[in-house]
Amino acid sequence: MQNFRNYYEILEVNRDASPGEIKQAYRRLARRYHPDLNPGDKGAEEQFKTIGEAYDVLSDENKRSQYDQFSHFWQQNGFRKTAKARSRSNPSTAVDYSEYRDFNRFVDQLLNRPGEIPRPQGKSVRVNNNSQAYRPGTRKTYAPGNPSRTTVKRERPRDIEARLTLPLEKAYIGGRERIRLEDGRSLEVEMPQGTIDGQRIRLKGQGIEGGDLYLKITVEPHPIFELQGIDVFCRVPLTPTEAILGGAVEVPTIDGLVRINVPPGVKPGQRLRLAEKGFPQGETRGDQLVEIAIAIPPIVSDEEKELYEKLRGLETFNPRSAMY
């Protein structure tokens, strides 16, 4: 029983966690242990794989249900006897847990990855590198009346889809990313520069039996920037004085800070365009849209307050004149 893995503890969630809570926990831990952020750390790499395995199971309703059933019996004394009795008492049960001699064999079958797979009379077939080995995309069948005789049927090429979530900065610069597929494979792919939210990237031949793999990209929300197609949007606050007088103001972009000239009398909600400061697309590049907001200082000094009082006595503009 030493190989049993409590996926709920691994993802640091309760057993009744919602799918959203499980997804949020996975993203947080995956960022912490991602190989790109822990170069050369084998422990972090193994933990990253374990987190991915836990998420593969708990994020799928059917797999999670089977795991919960299996883990319930696994932790009881006389596991094989209890699981077998359960299966016989409930013929509609999809899985006879007594066929699995240990937890690893159960997970291999659940995730449809190479390992030992159940065989009639509780026997199993060990996967190896010879021509009779089980591989993703093949299925072993047993001849009626002769369980010892097997044939291997190869599936047709099939396209599959996977999801990849990227921080906005990573989507902008591109580079290598590691993804984990449902069949247990882990691939390192070279992401192009300027990947946008919702984009589908085709990886030829990386599907099932020579089919294609399609990566659907999700760009994580950013605290400052918002991706609008290939344009980048951000909101920049100005003081009342800056808005009235205009002048040079530093503005953040995905390339770093730049100085722009704000025209005098700029209004709240007005947008300024920074050409070619967005995401690249072929030989062109999107723009950055800067929306102006007016920020009121939470605290003013006595000197500032005195000057504001003088200014109020000099003001001729009445913003409420149209209401009278």
Q: Look at residue 82 in the predicted model and tell me its pLDDT.
A: 44
Calpha distance 269→237 (Å, rounded): 10
pLDDT (tens digit, 9 = 90+) per residue, 93-152? 445 555 655 666 667 666 665 544 343 333 332 323 233 333 444 455 544 555 555 555
Decide: 119 and 142 in contact? Cβ < 8 Å: yes
Strand runs (DSSP E) across 75-205, as ranges? 117-118, 124-125, 138-143, 146-154, 160-166, 175-180, 186-191, 200-203
**What is the identity of the amino acid at 28?**
R
Calpha distance 267→261 (Å, rounded): 14
What are the Cα distances from residue 242, in Å, to 263, 265, 270?
9, 9, 14
pTM of the model: 0.50
- Rounded average pLDDT over 248-259: 94
- Rounded average pLDDT over 221-245: 94
- Is 245 a residue whose pLDDT tops 50? yes
Q: Look at residue 46 in the predicted model and tell me its pLDDT.
A: 87
pLDDT (tens digit, 9 = 90+) per residue, 135-188? 444 455 544 555 555 555 566 888 888 899 999 999 999 998 888 887 778 888
pLDDT (tens digit, 9 = 90+) per residue, 272-301? 999 999 999 888 999 999 999 999 999 999
Percentage of the residues of the chain whose pLDDT score is greater than 70: 73
Q: Look at residue 73 in the predicted model and tell me its pLDDT.
A: 63
Calpha distance 262→236 (Å, rounded): 11
Q: Look at residue 183 in the predicted model and tell me its pLDDT.
A: 73
